[in-house]
């Protein structure tokens, strides 16, 4: 059986719009443009525990693609992760719709939980008929990822193992 995936967005999920306690400010310049980031070093341990406890694999599903391994992973306490290859945003689509098309093509039938703040990914995935079991955990981009989201992902992954023996 295929290992379930935990798909992880960066902006609006690990990097929220508003600073809450526990977040630190950083700058990143992956393509020569300077971005301001708010990152929380507790996110890495939370997510690696989720993956270890449920047997799932963490994968970036972000426009940062593999640059997340340089600029995000070391600051939140994550190892280097594989990434969904998402091409440069085509402005004919919304950010969420463009990303969701490429996520759907890449995951195939593997089960996945997706921690994501773009609401329209749901609509795109609903039209995909060939996906395996999946759950989108919507994250409020203002506050980013919380333990509640990780608990939702954990509950779903544990149920998946019980139902399908993944």
Alpha-carbon span 121 to 101, nearest angstrom? 8
Query: Least distance in Å: CB of 118 to Mg ion?
Result: 5
Q: Which two tokens stand for residue 29?
A: 């310049």
Q: Which two tokens stand for residue 38?
A: 């708010």
- Biggest CA–CA distance in the chain, Å, is 47
For Mg ion (CB under 5 A), the number of binding residues is: 4
Query: Least distance in Å: CB of 129 to Mg ion?
Result: 25
Residue nearer to Mg ion on the CB measure, 4 or 12: 12
Q: Which two tokens stand for residue 99?
A: 């990303």
Query: Least distance in Å: CB of 95 to Mg ion?
Result: 7
- At 113, phi and psi to the nearest 5? -110, 140
List binders of Mg ion among 5-24 (CB under 5 A): 9, 11-12
Residue nearer to Mg ion on the CB measure, 9 or 107: 9
Provide the β-strand partners of residue 8. 60, 115
Query: Least distance in Å: CB of 89 to Mg ion?
Result: 12
Query: What is the contact surface with Mg ion in residues (CB under 5 A)?
Result: 9, 11-12, 117
């Amino acid at each position: 059986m295929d290992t379930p995936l935990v798909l992880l967005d960066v902006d609006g999920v690990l990097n929220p719009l508003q600073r809450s306690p526990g977040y630190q400010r950083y700058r990143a310049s992956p393509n020569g443009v300077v971005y301001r980031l708010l990152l929380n070093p507790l996110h890495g341990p939370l997510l690696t525990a989720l993956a270890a406890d449920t047997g799932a694999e963490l994968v970036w599903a972000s426009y940062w693609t593999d640059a997340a391994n340089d600029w995000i992973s070391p600051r939140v306490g994550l190892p280097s992760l594989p990434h969904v290859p998402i091409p440069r945003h085509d402005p004919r689509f919304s950010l969420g719709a463009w990303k969701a098309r490429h996520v759907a093509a890449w995951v195939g039938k593997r089960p996945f939980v997706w921690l994501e703040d773009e609401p329209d990914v749901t609509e795109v995935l609903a039209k995909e008929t060939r996906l395996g079991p999946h759950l989108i955990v919507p994250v409020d981009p203002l506050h980013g990822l919380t333990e509640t989201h990780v608990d939702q992902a954990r509950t779903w992954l544990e149920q998946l193992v019980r139902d399908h023996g993944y």
